Each structure stands twice: as structure tokens, then as C-alpha cells.
Structure 1
Amino acid sequence: MLLLLLILLLALAMARPVDHDESQYVAAATLTAKGLLPYRDYAYLQTPLQPLLFAPVAALAGVWAWLALRLINALLGWLTVVGVFVAARRAGAGKRMALIAALGLAACDILLFSAAMARNDALPAAMLAGAMVAMAGDRTRTNALSAGLLLAGAAAAKISYALPAAAFGLWVLWRQKRPGWVALGALLPAALVAWLCWLAPADALFGILTFPAKAPADFYAGRPWKLSLAAKVVDTLKFLALGPALLALVAAWRGRAAAGPWPWLALAGFAAALLPEPTWRQYLLPALPPLFVMAALGLQRAVPTRTMRLAVVPLVAAGLTPSLIALVQGGGILPAMRERAAIARVLAGRGPVATLSPQFVADPDSRFATGPFAFRIRRFLSPADEGARRIVTPRTLAAQFAARPPAAILVGGEGKWTSGDDALEAPLEAWARGQGWRQVPVSARFRLWAPPR
């Protein structure tokens, strides 16, 4: 069943529609493969481990890097499920209950979405699950070292995993579970992040803390209801109901599965999910692996009620429906990859390309490494700060392009078909027209602007 799940996750990674959320992660891996470093050479709006680990994949895959990163994430999503199964077995759950819990996690849209996109969700989740396997094992130096290494690695790939890592650290200190070896394991990822922050401290602070804290209020200024407590409650319950996560909560509570580090990790994961505004489904992923281990232990101790059994079918169906729709509709990433190949042929040898869809080009302008996300900043940075942070926005575009024009401008990838906003690309196209640049045919969806001959 787990092998079948791997095949389905790989298929889903190819079938999911393109999403502009993937832009900065594909661009970061591509730029790092060229020898650039996050923060120092280009803006990156997360902690920095993923582009460093995925750069070799991008280098080997070349024009197919985007697809390769999706498939890697599908594998990492599968490893997360397997990690929950193994951790539950080691923690004392029977094989049947551990498998039910692992497949319950696999039926959550939170995991299915995260494992099918080229984002930074699957890598830290797999690291968390691997750390949980080590936690559930014997009290050996190797397990303590592995848990520290993997939890710190998860936080180095996505900042929200820092809370579960800190919670486990407190639990280890409280229970005297080899805290020195856990800290030693965490040293390598922590040193890597510290080194990159030391190279460009202001840029690292902007990417890791300032942007996530200030960008939502800036972007949703016209829709303040999206940042309200009521919206957070509704969104959280909605995402948890797309799959059996709510049932896992009930099973863990009924079985009193509170021994070990699992409640600490789950509560910290939920806290990490609820702190940002607004709440999106992938934000809840840090809480699910420990929650489903607790569910396996809870099911082992307390037989599910008739109501729980009846609720399984509709909740699993709700969790699978978005992915089944994607599989039935077809298309997915393969048409986008064909367009990427066509763009690469037209752009061959031109140099860095300015675009809000850097996942579609092999040589993105590093000032646009964050895709549309830094470009839509309106208020919280001055023009001087924008230049210092190696980003471009509409108000600084003309000055920055005058100082260093791109080799070409590509528009068309930031629109409704990628969950984006068509109007966001208008300043790029207006600048190209104003400079007398010519339009080069690429495809029905994309428009390429090149300097006049």
C-alpha cells in the first residue's frame, strides 16, 4: 500500500496545476546551482537550506528542473508518511493502527498539496518525520544526534519548524534524554544558517523575519477581513476537515496518547501554523506527523466509536477530492514544461531574464528571484531599501533597469492560470514598450520582450 502511495504521489506531482507559489523555490535552486547564495546574491523569503540541497538537482535536470523538484517533493511527502508509520510502530502502536494513521495522513489535502508542488513544505516535513523515528527509538547517542540534526534541518528549510524543534529541545532538557547529543546534532544546520546570515545580515533578516511579518498586512490592506481571527478559525477548520486530521485529534484525545514528545511537537506545530496571517493549508503540515503518531497510539488504546467510523468516509473523500480533480483534469505541469522548453530555445544565450515567473526560465534575473512576492511590496520598504535587498518593485523598476537592464523581459506566467494577478506584470510590459523593445513570439500564453536590434 505504501509503494502504491508513492506511485500516486508521483502522478499527482505531475498532474497538479501550476501555481505561482512555486516560482521562488525553483528560481532559488536554479540560481544556487549557478553558484549564487541566498541573501548574499539574491533575495530569498525563507530559511536557506532547501535551495542549497536542491541546487544539484536543478543543475542535473537543466530545463526540466521544475519537474524534477516536484518529483523530489513527492518522494519527500512519501517519506513523511513512511516516517509516521515507523515512528508509530516504534512508539508502541500495532502494525494495523500505525498503517491506518499513516494512510490517514496521506489522505489529508494538506500533505497531498505540499507533496505535489515545488515549494518548501515537503523537505522539512520529511525531516520532522525522520526525527520522530529517531525519537521513538532507543535512547542512544545516534538517535539523539539524528533527532537534533533533522529537527534543526527542518527549521533551516522552513522557519515554522523552529517551534517544534524548540519544543523538543525543552522536552529533552526536562526529561534528560541526552540533551548534549541533541544539541550537537543541531549544530551543523544552525551553523550553516548562521554563516549565510553573517554574509548578509540585513538581507537574511528581511527574508526570514521582516517580509513574513509585514507583507500580509501590506498585501491584504484592501481586504482586512482576510487577516481577522474569524477568517483564521474558518480557514483552519476547513483545511483540517479536508482529510481525517480532525478524527486524528479525537483519536489522540480519547486514547490519552500524551506520553513522549508527541504532544509537545503537535502543539508547537499548531502554534507555528496559527501565528502567520492568513492561515494556508500548508502551514498546518508541521502539526500533522506527531498528531497522527498520537492517533495511532490512541487507536491502539481506545476502539473508535461508531460516529468516528462513519465520519472516516466523508472526511477521507474530502481530503482526496482536490487531488482527484487534478488527476482527472490532466494537464498539470507537462504543458508548462513544454512552454519552458520553448522559452529556453528562444532565450538561448541572451542572459538574465526579468520575469515574475522565474520558474519558466533557465537564467532568471536574480532581482526577480522571489517571483511576484517581493515585486508587489507597496509600503514597508523605501526605494533605497529595495535596491539594498536586491529586489525590484514597480516604483524602483525604471531606476534599476536604467542602471542594469535585463537581457529580456518575459510576461504571461503571473495570471489567473497560476493563481496569480495579471495586472502585476503590467509595469514590466509598460517599461519594455516605453524603451522601444520588440515583442518576440514565444507561445499563446507568454510574451517575450527583447531590446531593439
Structure 2
Amino acid sequence: MSGEGTRCLQFGVGERASARSGVWIVPACFLLVAGWLVARALAAPLNHDESQYVAAAVLSGQSLIFRDFLSLQPPLHAWLLAPVAWAFAGDSFIALRMTSAAMGLVALAAVYAAQRGLGIGKWPALAATVLMAGCDAFQFTAAVVRNDMAPTMLLALGLLAALTGIRRGEYGWWAAAGLLFGLATSAKLSFAPPLAVAGLFLLAHVRDRRIGVAAVLAFGCGGLAGLVPMAIGYLAGPDAFIYGTLTFGSTAPFDWYRANGLHYRLAPSGKLGDLAYFAILGPTVAALALVGWDGVRRWRGEKLAGFSLEQRLLIALILAGLIGAYLPTPVQRQYLMPLMPPLFIALGAALAAIASRRGRAIALAVLGLFALFGFAKAGWPMLRAATHGAPAVVVDDQAEWIGDALRAQRLTGPVASLSPERLVDSGYPVDPRFATGPFVYRSGALVSPRDAERFRVLTAGTLFAALDRAPPAAILTGYEAGTRKFSIAPDAGLIAYARARSYRAVRLPDGIGVLHIRPQRR
């Protein structure tokens, strides 16, 4: 084995426990984390972003994305969740949240396995993995129905395959890595930088005997295969695909934030400030600092020779993750997820490289304090759920109440709402014209009436005419009524229509939602 490979496989060897000591600790920790993630998924407050993801998952089981309804995301995530929504009809919202938690656990397992494959000892590898779970971004994305945890899981698995490919020098692992990186991109576009950077990394190291031309070709073929879902989505509805995945994201957020007086969050300084703020909520910043310190130490010692091929790949992907986190506008906490797998694998190596017990204890204490803050922030909703009910269960029960109310009136047809996640388990179909939740509707001035009809969406300008052509059985409002941050209330148009067409308003059990029931035709 080359000296570089030997060095990589042996960092952290001093941290290894004996084969039989503490054999129970790893499964016990993962069991505890699994229980935490499940509880967190049940207790997390609803996030209105979930509207589009839940609707897309449910509708994808019965129609074709971009052809029959618009999506604002690449198609893979909806297709992955569609079987879950179908199998657990009636309890699909809870099942979809549990799926996010399960994906989070798989991502953590892949990060741990990648570290162990590099020769990092059990304890630093486990510590780095638990610290990743303590990040606010991870806690959030593992608890809600969004398209962040699926690509994070795929990226972590792809990293495991890539690092194994370097170690074994087998191009089959690179094909798997390319496939997984490509699939991550097909689930969320902000995961494209890791795919591109990994490809460039291979090209830059093509002369290394553990990579070679075969590995580059294998990764490229795998990456192309992973992008096939994107191609299928495009072919299903080219114009809708371009608008949903590219045009909307580059125009609508600017329109919405400026309309609400939040234009400062769109500037580079605002984005950097948001990125720093979200990174501080948990050990992300501390992990970056320690990994950076370890990199500087290695560079001072041996320059580039101080870094194994595996470490160079991790550094490249950390930079790619930072790019992926910064690209979307405005920056949100979930956009840190492309950074997580490479950063915390590298963190395990940095922890293992600390020679003194005192230095290691100080590093773990600082990281642990940040992680405790992340866990505490995520745990607060659990305490509230213990007295007020778990939001995921409450939504499920309330959807059943909606269904019972409509069945009592013997109504048929879809239900319209800017909050479709709250009615998917009612037994009534979601009006596909509201598949994007509030997002296209609230920035409807950017969509021409012709495009709105082509994309099968409604805007404030087309709402009355479109609903008159196909009146829904009911209209659910109350959850897009504006907030302290966003003063504009998108629900106002639907309420106006319901009143104008004599829909009967019924207050929901939570005291917030209002179900407008279509008048019976005589």
C-alpha cells in the first residue's frame, strides 16, 4: 500500500478501543438517536414549506409530475415518497415525517461507517456522528417533509462509496458514488456542487493509481444515470420543469421578500449573515473551526503531502457544500445540509488526530456545548407536544375531521387549499392546482394567465375564473394568514372567493383553520 494510503488508514488508530470493549455503545447510541428523531418528527411544528412536498408525494401516486401538476423541485423526492403516501393513506403525513427521520438515521449511519472505513477509532467516529445529529439544520430536516434529508442521505452514502473506492482502488465503487451523487442532485439542485466538484477532483487526480481513467469514467456514467429522474421530469413537461426548478427559484423569492420589506436578506451580506446564524445553531461552526485547524496543522507540517487522497476529497466536498449552502436565495437553515456529511466525516479525523487527552477533551467540550444547544432547541417542541399534543398527530386527526364533515354533506371532488398538507389524510383528493402550496400563488404576478393555465396553477388573477370552471368541494384557509415577519396574507383571495360563492364557513377544532363548504346544488 502507498504511504499516503497507509497514513490515511492509520489516523485515529490511537483512539481505537479493543474489539470487545463497549461493543454495545454504538447500537445503543443509534437506538437513542432513532427514538429522538421519531419523537422530534411527531413533535415538530408544521412548516408551511411542507405543503408542496406532501402534495407532490400524494399526487405523484396518481398522476405525473410536471405534466399533470406543477412542482418547484426536481422529481426524485416526490417519487421516493409516493409509495409511502400510498401505503399509509389516511396516515400519510405521519408516515412521510417518519420517512424523513429514517433517512436521517441512514445518513448518520453512512457518516459513521465512512469514518470507520478510514480507520478512525470508534469513539471519535461516534462523537462526530452524534455531533452531526445535534446540528439545528439536521434536526429540522429530519423532522419535516422536505427534500433535504433524502439528498443528504444519498450524499452520505455516495461519500461512503467514494472513500471506499479510493481505499480499494475499484472503479465499481466510483460508479456507485457517481450514481448516488447524481440521485442527490435529482432530489435537490443545491446538491449539484458536490457532484461537480467530485468529478473535477477525479479529473485532477486521474494519474493516481487508485483512481485512473476507469474510475473517472465509472463516476461519470454513474452520475449521468443518477440524473435520469431529472430528464424524465423534463420530458414530462419541459416548460413546467424549467419554470418550477429554475425560473421560480430565481424570481419568486425576490418578489415575495421585497413585497414584505425583507429585501436585506437577499443581499450577499444578508445571505452570509443568515448562513453564519444558522451554522451557529449547533456544532457546525465549531466543527468547521476544528477541521480548519487540523488542515492548517497538516499543511504546515508537510504541505500537500500531509493530506491523504481521502482528506483532499473531503476538503473539496466541504467547499462544495459551502457553495451549495450559499447559492439559494434567501439562505435558510436546511441549505447547510450539503455540507454536513463531508464536514463531520472530516471532524472525526480531526478529533482522532488530537494527540493529547486534554486537547481532545477541550475540543469535545466546546463541540458538545454547541450540540447541547442544538438538541435543546429541538427538544423544546417535544415538551410542548407532551401537553398540547404532537402536531403531526393533531394534523392527522384534524384531516379526519375534515373528511367526516364533507362526507356528512355527501360532497365529492377535490379540496382546495394553500395548505394541502393539512388535508391529505381527509380521504378527499387535493386540488392539483394547489400542489405548490402558497408559493406560486403568492407570487402570481410573475406568472402570465396563459402560463398559469399551461402549468395548471392558480394565481390571484386567475383564481375566480378557474375555480368557477371547476369548483372544489371545499376550501381550507387560515394557515396562510400572514405572520409578524410576512405581513401579506395569501389566504385572503381564497376567503374572498368562498364568501362570494356562498361557501359555508366552519371553524376547525384547532381554532385556526376554516373549512369553507360548497353549497349544495338544487
Find the counterpart in structure 2 of residue 360 from structure 1.
422
Quote the residue 2:182 is aligned against.
152
**Taking structure 1 as reference, are residues 347 and 360 closer, same or farther at Cα in structure 2, changes over 3 Å only?**
farther
Q: CA separation in 2, counterparts of 1:352 and 1:420?
A: 28
Distance in 1 between the 2:361 and 2:218 partners?
45
Give the aligned CA root-mean-square deviation in angstroms: 2.1
Q: CA deviation at 1:384?
A: 1.9
* Aligned position for 1:186: 223
Is 2:48 the partner of 1:20?
Answer: yes
Is 1:227 the counterpart of 2:263 in the alignment? no
Other-structure match for 2:252: 215
d(CA) in 2 for partners of 1:425, 1:359: 15
- Aligned partner of 2:285 in structure 1 is 246
Q: Distance in 2 between matches of 1:305 and 1:189?
A: 40
TM-score by length of structure 2 reads 0.82
What residue identity is the alignment partner of 1:248?
A: A
How far off its partner does 1:75 sit? 0.8
Q: Which amino acid aligns with 1:383?
A: P
2:465 is matched with 399
Are the aligned partners of 2:272 and 2:326 in contact in 1 as well (CA < 8 Å)?
A: no
Question: What residue identity is the alignment partner of 1:116?
Answer: A
Q: Partner of 1:261 in structure 2?
A: 313
Amino acid at match of 1:13: A
* Residue range with higher mean Cα deviation, 285-294 or 373-382: 373-382
Asked whether the 8 Å contact 2:74–2:233 carries over to 1, the reply is no
2-structure distance, mates of 1:299, 1:452: 66
The CA deviation at 1:9 is 0.6
Q: How does 1:79-94 map to 2 (within 5 A)?
A: 79-94=106-121
Task: State the 1:442 CA deviation.
Answer: 4.5
Aligned to 1:321: 376
How much does 1:264 deviate? 1.5
Q: Secondary structure, in 3 states, of the residue corresponding to 2:90?
A: helix
Q: Is the 8 A contact 2:162 2:173 kept in 1?
A: yes
Pick which of 375-384 and 425-434 moved more.
375-384
Q: How does 1:274-423 map to 2 (within 5 A)?
A: 274-303=326-355, 304=359, 308-330=363-385, 331=389, 332-348=391-407, 350-362=412-424, 363-415=429-481, 423=489
2:123 maps to 96
Counterpart of 1:448 in 2: which secondary structure? strand
Q: How far 1:2 sits from its partner (Å)?
A: 1.4
Indicate whether 1:141 and 2:171 are aligned. Answer: yes
Q: Is this contact kept in 1: 2:503–2:516, CA < 8 A?
A: yes
8 A contact 1:15–1:326 mirrored in 2: yes
Q: Which moved more, 1:409-418 or 1:11-20?
A: 409-418
**Cα separation, 2, equivalents of 1:84 and 1:295:** 11
**For residues 194 and 31 of structure 1, do their structure 2 counterparts lie closer, same or farther at Cα, with a shift above 3 Å needed?**
same
CA distance in structure 2 between the aligned counterparts of 1:155 and 1:55, rounded to whole angstroms: 18
- What is the CA distance between 1:417 and its match in structure 2? 9.0
Deviation of 1:40 after TM superposition, in Å, equals: 1.0
Q: Identify unmatched segments of 5+ residues in structure 2.
A: 1-28, 299-306
Indicate yes or no: 2:519 matched with 1:452: yes
The whole-number CA distance in structure 1 between the counterparts of 2:475 and 2:279 is 41
Distance 1:85 1:313, change over 3 A: closer
Aligned to 2:37: 9
CA contact (8 A) 1:43 1:390 kept: yes
The answer to whether the Cα contact below 8 Å between 1:20 and 1:418 also exists between their aligned partners in 2 is no
1:63 counterpart SS class? coil
Q: Is the 8 A contact 1:254 1:302 kept in 2?
A: no
The Cα shift of 1:312 comes to 2.7
The offset of 1:344, in angstroms, is: 2.2
Percent identity between the two aligned chains: 35
- Higher Rg of the two aligned structures: 2
Corresponding position of 2:146: 119
Task: Output the amino acid matched with 2:518.
Answer: P
SS of 1:261's partner is: helix
Count of equivalent residues? 452
Q: C-alpha deviations, 1:168-200, integer Å up to 9, x for none?
A: 111122223302222222233322211220221
Runs of 4+ in 1 over 6 A off after TM superposition: 416-422
Q: CA deviation at 1:385?
A: 1.9
Please give the TM-score of this superposition, normalised by the length of structure 1.
Answer: 0.95
- Aligned partner of residue 144 in structure 1, secondary structure: helix
CA contact (8 A) 1:125 1:285 kept: yes
How far apart, CA to CA, are the structure 1 residues paired with 2:361 and 2:92? Answer: 48
- Whether 1:273 and 2:330 are equivalent positions in the alignment is no
Pairwise CA distance, 1:92: 3.0
Distance across 2 between alignment mates of 1:255 and 1:224: 38
Matching residue's letter, 2:265: K
Distance 1:7 1:419, change over 3 A: farther
Deviates more, 1:155-164 or 1:302-311: 302-311
CA contact (8 A) 1:13 1:70 kept: yes
Give the CA deviation at 1:123: 0.5
**Deviation readout 1:21-54 (Å, 9 max, x if unpaired):** 11111100110112x1211111111111011111
CA distance in 2: counterparts of 1:139 and 1:78, whole angstroms: 28
Task: Provide, for residues 309-342 of structure 1, a one-character-per-residue CA deviation record: whole Å limited to 9, x for no partner.
Answer: 5523431222112211111111331111110111
Aligned residue for 2:10?
Answer: none
Retained in 1: the 8 A contact 2:112–2:125?
A: yes
Flag the 1:313–1:98 CA change in 2: closer, same or farther, 3 A: closer
Matched position secondary structure for 2:515: strand
